Amino acid sequence: MRSSWVLFGVLLMLSGPLWADSRQDTFLAARDAYKARNESLLVEYSSRLQTERYALAPYVDYWLALLRMDEAQNDEVRELLTRDADIPFSGRLRAEWLKKLGKREDWTTFFEEFPKLSVEDPAVTCYALQGRVARGEQTALQEGKAIWMSPQDRPASCDPLFEAMQTAGVLTKEDIWLRFRLALQDGKVSVAKAVLRRLPEINAQTAGKLLDQAHQNPQQAKQKKRFTTSTRLGRELNLYALERVSRSQPDLALSLWNPDKSNYSQEEQAYLWGRMALHAARRHDARALEWFGLAANAALSREQLEWKARSALRVRDWAMLQATLAAMAPEQGEEAAWRYWNGRAYKEQGQIPAANAIFVPLARERSYYGLMAAEELGDAMAAPQAQYKASEDEVRAVELIPGIQRALELDRIDMRWESKNEWAWGTRSFNDQQLIAAAELAFRQDWYDIAILTAEKTTLTHDFSLRYPTPYRDRLQVYARENALDEAWVYGLIRQESRFISQAKSSAGASGLMQVMPATAKWIAKRMGMGNYHHGMIHQLDTNLQCGTHYMRYVLDQMDGQALMATAAYNAGPGRPKRWAGEQPMEGAIYAETIPFTETRDYVKKVMGNAYHYSQQLGLRLQSVKQRLGIVNGRQSQVNQPAGAAETSQP
């Protein structure tokens, strides 16, 4: 009898999810069946979950529809999209259907459904333009230029459109060369090679090999004169090689460039000066503005204009800064950063009414630059706004919404990406009070990142305790005090690092609340005398907080007590922040704005803004953002590092 039960148990395990006791198990088995493209199993799971009225049953029908897309009748797909119109996957399903319709050139059905598409998909956009051309709308060819002028690879559905554009003369040779440059600027060598195939006079195979030489060893390629200057391709390869050399060896690039500059057109010369100026600006090279001046006739990219503005900011050339901001496209110039610095430029030049006209509306925005603008107006120490607290009925009302229930269920089975999509979709039309109630619900689920994200969307009514939550405070305070750290700064950093998700792990391997790298954790543990340390311990809450706060203290000491530079060091490593300082002392806000790494630049601004809010939230001594940013010492006045703190000894 015992052996029969054992046999039954073995058979039960072998039979797999078909014998699953829970709806969650059945759903996860359905997901596996979809990955295995097992249509018959999906049909069975769909029937079972529909019968049991499981909240996630529509997902199984969605997976089934994707598997059947090639054979599906239009009415079948329409019926599913109508039934599940309020579920996030409906947009992706419609996009896949439109691709099939475009491929079949069923333009009647395509254009009936295309206006209902709620997601962006380049392949569908190309099919739409292709279909309009087939209908005789030649203006669609011109609209295709916006898709062509991108460094990104484009889906195969764009090729017929590009062919039609080239045949009609809408896509010119100059357009092809321009995209070639764009691809190389973005490091997309494979895209650049594909672009060259549209030029019949160029041998794509030979050109590809030459391009590889320019990319892999540009200095050698230039010194050995691998590329001629008598053809457009040769000059473009020379320009690309020179640009790559200039990124780290500007003087060598100049020595290679000056002797044969006259072999290039004025446009080509201006283009290279603009690229060299960009790299110089990122290195804080004093020649950057001079080289931007030599690129006066070049059409500067968004990135180049940003760095020209930052170069002007580093030397406090307010007139140059404003001239550069005026050259930006309206949508770029309207970004909060450039509105703030435009206001500062007016203020520094004594034009107070013009400055305040910028600062007043900006100060209403809940952002780093909004805080900075308020400080310029003298409102830095204003009391925090009154907060709105959601009632239990409001929280319960949100919890009963089907999309929110699906989001919570997806989170329970660790489908976090889908869960976040459901949450975002379900809250997309919420008013401020509903958003606060939803954030409160997420907070109660220990879903801190979603609570913060949701609370941040409010416009007029706010709950700052949800925007800036303080979980684990009893434990965090211990380590903050142990290391003599500002608790608001520690919280501000953790909020940016992990959004308080203790199991967070970055693509680089940083782990836990404070996102400590494995090598750094090992190094810290050794400094602290943790003889029993092993890598798994960094995922433990207390160990993570202990190591992270110890490291914050370390980098703060390395940066001579300057929290701004220490924040940059926490993100980018201790060796870089002092190199980013100027020769003379510099306003912290300017230092932060001109950090070369985009990630670190955004990171320090957010951490310092967070710290300001946390000091209010925790009732600590209030410092303005400007006070927190401070004045960064010039390199000439920086003291020597203490013994044992050499960069080679750091993780």
Encode pLDDT of 175-187 as tens digits: 999 999 999 999 9
Give pairs for 27-36: CB < 8 Å, separation 24+.
27/54, 27/56, 27/57, 27/59, 27/60, 27/413, 28/413, 30/59, 30/60, 30/63, 31/63, 34/60, 34/63, 34/64, 34/66, 34/67
Encode pLDDT of 36-82 as tens digits: 999 999 999 999 999 999 999 999 999 999 999 999 999 999 999 99
pLDDT, position 300: 96
Residue 338, C-beta contacts closer than 8 angstroms, at least 6 positions apart: 309, 325, 328, 332
pLDDT, position 533: 87
Helix (H) or strand (E) holding 438: helix 432-444
CA angle 608, 611, 615 (to 5 degrees): 150
Phi and psi at residue 403, in whole multiples of 5°?
A: -65, -35
Rounded (10°) CA dihedral 159, 160, 162, 164:
160
Would you say residue 10 has pLDDT above 80? no
Quick check: pTM over 0.85? Answer: yes
Measured CA to CA in angstroms, residue 566 lies from 527, 549, 558, 614, 651 at distances of: 19, 12, 8, 18, 15
pLDDT, position 535: 84
What would the mean pLDDT of 217-224 be, rounded to a whole number?
Answer: 96
Q: Confidence band (pLDDT; 50, 70, 90) for 636?
A: low
What would the mean pLDDT of 322-337 be, rounded to a whole number?
Answer: 98
Residue listed under structure tokens 């001109």: 594
**497 among known catalytic residues:** yes
Residue 560, C-beta contacts closer than 8 angstroms, at least 6 positions apart: 633, 638, 639
Encode pLDDT of 424-479 as tens digits: 999 999 999 999 999 999 999 999 999 999 999 999 899 999 999 999 999 999 99
Q: What value does the mean pLDDT of the chain take?
A: 92
Phi and psi at residue 632, in whole multiples of 5°?
A: -85, 125
pLDDT, position 503: 81
Encode pLDDT of 512-563 as tens digits: 999 999 889 899 999 998 888 888 888 899 999 999 999 999 999 999 999 9
What would the mean pLDDT of 381-394 be, rounded to a whole number?
Answer: 77
The residue type of 348 is: E
d(CA 642, CA 646): 8
Would you say residue 638 has pLDDT above 90? no
Q: Confidence band (pLDDT; 50, 70, 90) for 384?
A: low
Would you say residue 396 has pLDDT above 70? yes
pLDDT, position 557: 97
Would you say residue 386 has pLDDT above 70? no
pLDDT, position 534: 86
Q: Is 515 helix (H, G, I), strand (E, B) or coil?
A: coil
Structure tokens given for 67: 């598997």
- Evaluate whether 577 touches 569 at the Cβ level (below 8 Å): yes
Encode pLDDT of 248-305 as tens digits: 999 999 999 999 999 999 999 999 999 999 999 999 999 999 999 999 889 999 999 9
3-state SS of 288-341 is HHHHHHHCCCCCCCHHHHHHHHHHHHHCCCHHHHHHHHHHCCHHHHCCHHHHHH
Residue listed under structure tokens 């013994």: 643
Would you say residue 7 has pLDDT above 60? no
CB atoms near residue 172 (< 10 Å): 12
Answer with the residue of higher pLDDT: 202 or 640. Answer: 202
Phi and psi at residue 201, in whole multiples of 5°?
A: -80, -5
d(CA 91, CA 103): 18
> Which one is catalytic: 497, 587, 593, 599?
497
Would you say residue 3 has pLDDT above 50? no
Q: Confidence band (pLDDT; 50, 70, 90) for 585?
A: very high
- What is the percentage of the chain residues whose pLDDT exceeds 70? 93
Would you say residue 618 has pLDDT above 90? yes
- Evaluate whether 483 touches 552 at the Cβ level (below 8 Å): yes
Encode pLDDT of 12-38 as tens digits: 333 444 444 489 999 999 999 999 999
